[in-house]
């Protein structure tokens, strides 16, 4: 158990709909990352938040948005869903490094999204 929790575990919805995925980082971790894993695209970085502020953006579609709340949990909002959005969505968290270097990331169990 990594200490990172994600809800829900599974989500089945229809095209055009909007869903919200939730992530709670490990205690003490300030950074939250969202990743999408699909068979054709592999594991793609979407976005990073650090202590409530957006820090980096990857291959995140305009239909997707995220935020990190004062209690450090994060939500990933996916709207106008398409069949191709079906994937595993992972959240990860990491502890700030005093040296400024990169630390390991701790991954949650993921949310499996199926768009029908």
The contacts of residue 22 (CB under 8 Å, 6+ apart) are: 6, 7, 73, 74, 75
Site string for other proteins, 57-96 (x = CB under 8 A): -x-----------------------------x-x-x-x--
Cβ at position 109, least distance to other proteins in Å: 5
Asked if residue 2 binds other proteins (CB under 8 A), the reply is yes
The DSSP code for 50 is: E
Return d(Cα 108, Cα 84) in angstroms, integer.
Answer: 22
What is the Rg, in whole angstroms, of the alpha carbon atoms belonging to the chain? 14
Q: Which is nearer to other proteins, 81 or 87 (CB)?
A: 87
Q: Which is nearer to other proteins, 6 or 19 (CB)?
A: 6
Of 41, 5, 15, 37, the closest CA to residue 115 belongs to: 15
**Footprint on this chain of other proteins (rule: CB under 8 A):** 2, 4, 31, 33, 35, 42-45, 48, 50, 55-56, 58, 88, 90, 92, 94, 101-110, 112
């Amino acid at each position: 158990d990594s200490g990172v929790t994600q809800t829900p575990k599974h989500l089945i919805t229809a095209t055009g709909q909007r869903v919200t995925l939730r992530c709670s980082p490990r205690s003490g971790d300030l950074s939250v990352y969202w990743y999408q894993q699909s068979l054709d695209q592999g594991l793609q970085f979407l976005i990073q938040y650090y202590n409530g502020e957006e820090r980096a953006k990857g291959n995140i579609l305009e239909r997707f948005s995220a935020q990190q709340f004062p209690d450090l949990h994060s939500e990933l909002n996916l709207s106008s869903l398409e069949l191709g959005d079906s994937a595993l969505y992972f959240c990860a968290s990491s502890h700030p490094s005093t040296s400024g270097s990169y630390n390991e990331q701790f991954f949650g169990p993921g949310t499996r999204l199926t768009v029908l």
